[in-house]
C-alpha cells in the first residue's frame, strides 16, 4: 500500500483508502490504548484418561475369562490335619482330606487313609446305614403288601370301608419309595458293591413293580363294576 498524503492511501489491488488516524506504539493522547487485560480464566480440566491397556486390565480383573476354571471353594480343614485345608473328599466315606492324605486312583476316585487301609469290600458307615435302612423298608413294604393283598382277598376290609385300605396303601407306598431310593443309592459303579447291596436294591425294585401292577389291576377291576 502506498501512502499518498496524511489522509489518503492507495492499494495496487484494492484501490484507494482513507487514513483515519495514525497508529503508533506510544500513547499520543488521541487514541486510547488497549487496557492490559488479565489472563483468561482457565477452567479446570478433567484428569487425563488412563491408557487403553490400563483400562482394559482394570476391567479384566473384575471378570473371569470364558473357559478359565473358577477357584475351588474351600472345603474346610482336613479330617486328620485340622490346620491344613482340604482339597478333596473321600469317594467312599466323604471325609475331607488334604493333599497328603489324598490317595488318588484312576476314574477320579479319591480315598482317605482309613478307607485305603480298610479290608477290601468293606462298606463305609454311610453306605452300610443306607443298606440297613433299605432292608428295613423292604421288610415293612412286604408286610403291608401282603396285608393289602391277603386282606382284600379274604374280605377283611369289607366293614371298614376304603379308609383302612387307603392308610395301608399310603404306608406301603412310603416304604417302597424310601427303600428303593436307599437301595439304589448304595450302588456305586466306582466302588465295590457287595451281594447284600444288590439284594436290597432288587428286593425294593420288585416291590415297586408289584405295587404298580397291583394298582393297575385294581383300577381295571373297579372299572368293570
Task: Taking each helix axis as running N to C, give the angle between helix 162-185 and helix 125-154, from 0 to 180 degrees, rounded to the nearest 10.
Answer: 150
Residues 102 and 138 in one domain: no
In a domain, 97, yes or no: yes
In a domain, 42, yes or no: no
Say if residue 160 is in the same domain as residue 93.
no
Does some domain include residue 192? yes
DSSP per-residue codes, 203-221 = HHHHHHHHHHHHHHHHHHH
- pLDDT tens-place string over residues 85-128: 999 988 877 889 998 898 888 878 888 888 777 645 566 777 78
Shared domain check, 95 and 138: no
pLDDT at position 47 is: 55
**Cα 79 to chain center, whole Å?**
26
> In the 8-state DSSP scheme, what is residue 67?
T
Domain C-terminal end among 118, 146, 174 = 118
Query: Which pLDDT tens digit goes with each residue over 137-161?
Result: 999 999 988 888 887 777 776 666 6
Cα–Cα distance for residue pair 103/116, rounded to 1 Å: 8
pLDDT tens digit sequence for 41-54:
556 565 555 555 55
The per-residue pLDDT for 65 is 52
The sign one gets for the Cα dihedral 92, 98, 99, 101 is: negative
Q: Which three cell numbers stand for residue 83?
A: 490346620
Residue 129 in domain:
yes
Kindly indicate the confidence band of residue 34, based on its pLDDT and cuts at 50, 70 and 90. very low
Judge whether 133 and 182 are in contact, CB under 8 Å.
yes
Same domain, 112 and 157: no
Percent of residues, the chain, with pLDDT higher than 70: 64
Residue 171 lies in a domain: yes
Q: CA nearest 96: which of 75, 74, 125, 113?
A: 75
**pLDDT at residue 40, rounded to an integer:** 55
Task: Look up the pTM and report it.
Answer: 0.47
In this predicted structure, the answer to whether residue 20 has a pLDDT above a threshold of 80 is no
Domain annotation covers residue 214: yes
Range of the domain at 100: 73-118
Q: Is residue 142 part of a domain?
A: yes
- Matching residue, cell 379274604: 154
pLDDT of 132 over the 70 cut? yes
Final residue in a domain of this structure, among 97, 118, 139 = 118
Classify residue 198: in a domain, yes or no.
yes
Count: domains in the chain:
2
Amino acid at each position: 500500500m502506498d501512502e499518498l498524503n496524511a489522509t489518503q492511501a492507495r492499494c495496487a489491488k484494492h484501490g484507494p483508502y482513507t487514513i483515519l488516524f495514525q497508529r503508533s506504539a506510544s500513547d499520543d493522547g488521541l487514541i486510547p490504548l488497549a487496557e492490559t487485560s488479565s489472563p483468561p480464566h482457565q477452567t479446570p480440566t478433567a484428569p487425563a484418561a488412563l491408557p487403553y491397556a490400563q483400562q482394559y486390565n482394570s476391567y479384566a480383573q473384575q471378570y473371569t475369562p470364558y473357559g478359565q476354571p473358577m477357584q475351588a471353594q474351600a472345603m474346610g480343614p482336613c479330617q486328620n490335619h485340622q490346620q491344613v485345608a482340604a482339597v478333596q473328599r473321600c469317594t467312599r466315606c466323604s471325609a475331607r482330606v488334604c493333599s497328603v492324605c489324598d490317595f488318588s486312583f484312576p476314574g477320579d476316585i479319591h480315598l482317605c487313609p482309613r478307607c485305603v487301609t480298610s479290608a477290601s469290600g468293606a462298606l463305609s458307615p454311610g453306605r452300610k446305614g443306607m443298606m440297613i435302612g433299605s432292608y428295613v423298608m423292604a421288610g415293612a413294604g412286604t408286610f403291608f403288601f401282603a396285608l393289602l393283598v391277603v386282606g382284600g382277598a379274604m374280605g377283611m376290609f369289607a366293614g371298614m370301608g376304603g379308609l383302612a385300605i387307603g392308610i395301608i396303601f399310603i404306608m406301603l407306598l412310603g416304604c417302597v419309595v424310601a427303600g428303593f431310593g436307599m437301595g439304589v443309592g448304595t450302588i456305586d459303579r466306582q466302588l465295590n458293591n457287595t451281594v447284600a447291596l444288590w439284594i436290597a436294591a432288587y428286593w425294593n425294585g420288585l416291590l415297586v413293580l408289584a405295587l404298580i401292577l397291583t394298582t393297575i389291576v385294581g383300577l381295571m377291576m373297579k372299572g368293570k363294576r
